Amino acid sequence: MITKLEYTMQNIFQLSNIENECFKRNAWSIPALRGEFENDFSHFFGYVMDDKIVGYTCVRIMYEEAQVCNIAVLPEYQRQGIGSQLVQKLVDFATESGCQVAELEVNTANEKAVGLYLKNGFVVAGVRPNFYRTSTYPTRDAFTMLKQLNQ
Ligand SMILES: CC(C)(COP(=O)(O)OP(=O)(O)OC[C@H]1O[C@@H](n2cnc3c(N)ncnc32)[C@H](O)[C@@H]1OP(=O)(O)O)[C@@H](O)C(=O)NCCC(=O)NCCS
């Protein structure tokens, strides 16, 4: 079940665990997660199984544009359609919030994530060389990907 996540320390600790499992040394820290929850533009959604958050996404609603901040699914729950359901949720939420477009950056070498976004209607709009300061991938370049909403 996908649910909107409130700003509680229990949720922060669960998201921190997902971050560490999925992003290792590039994981969002607990202060970074808290800061994002305190951002009025940010909204978090979690995929919950048996009271445990197994995947989450964060989206910033910036007037006509939705910025996808992050998405991650615990490794043992990946490739079961959870990521796609989270993308669909953020797309629906952004559309209901009046956004015209959803935008994100993703490492050009992150095949899983690029595949996820392509499967869910995003298109590559451009490449940002050296977008990431550090990377666990062989490149620091990012694709900018877009999805037009209300279509
Ligand atoms: C990217 C991620 C969120 C996908 O979540 P998921 O629950 O596995 O996604 P889904 O099961 O809905 O898969 C959707 C599509 O993503 C792509 N995909 C997912 N896992 C993949 C893999 N291991 N290899 C290649 N493509 C993959 C495929 O196109 C897949 O569609 P298909 O199963 O019909 O081939 C997950 O792999 C993850 O958490 N990765 C680490 C964190 C990360 O990189 N986040 C993105 C930051 S921008």
Q: Where are the domains of the chain?
A: 2-148
Counting from 1 in the atom list of ligand 1, the atom nearest the Cα of 110 is 44
6 is known as an active-site residue: no
105 is known as an active-site residue: yes
Q: Would the CA dihedral through 75, 39, 12, 48 be positive or negative?
A: negative
Measured distance CA(114)–CA(7) in Å, rounded: 29
From first to last of its 151 residues, the chain has per-residue pLDDT tens of 999 999 999 999 999 999 999 999 899 999 999 999 999 999 999 999 999 999 999 999 999 999 999 999 999 999 999 999 999 999 999 999 999 999 999 999 999 999 999 999 999 999 999 999 888 898 999 999 999 997 6
Counting from 1 in the atom list of ligand 1, the atom nearest the Cα of 18 is 39
Q: How is residue 6 written in tokens?
A: 């409130």
Residues having CB closer than 6 A to ligand 1 are 22, 71-73, 78-84, 106, 110-113, 115-116, 119
Counting from 1 in the atom list of ligand 1, the atom nearest the Cα of 113 is 1
pTM: 0.97
* DSSP-derived secondary structure for the chain: -EEEPPS-HHHHHHHHHHHHHHHGGGPPPHHHHHHHHH-TTEEEEEEEETTEEEEEEEEEEETTEEEEEEEEE-GGGTTSSHHHHHHHHHHHHHHHTT-SEEEEEEETT-HHHHHHHHHTT-EEEEEETT--SS-SSS---EEEEEEE---
| pLDDT given for residue 151 in this prediction | 62
Catalytic residue, candidates 63, 105, 111, 137: 105
Domain 2-148 listed as CATH 3.40.50.300:
no
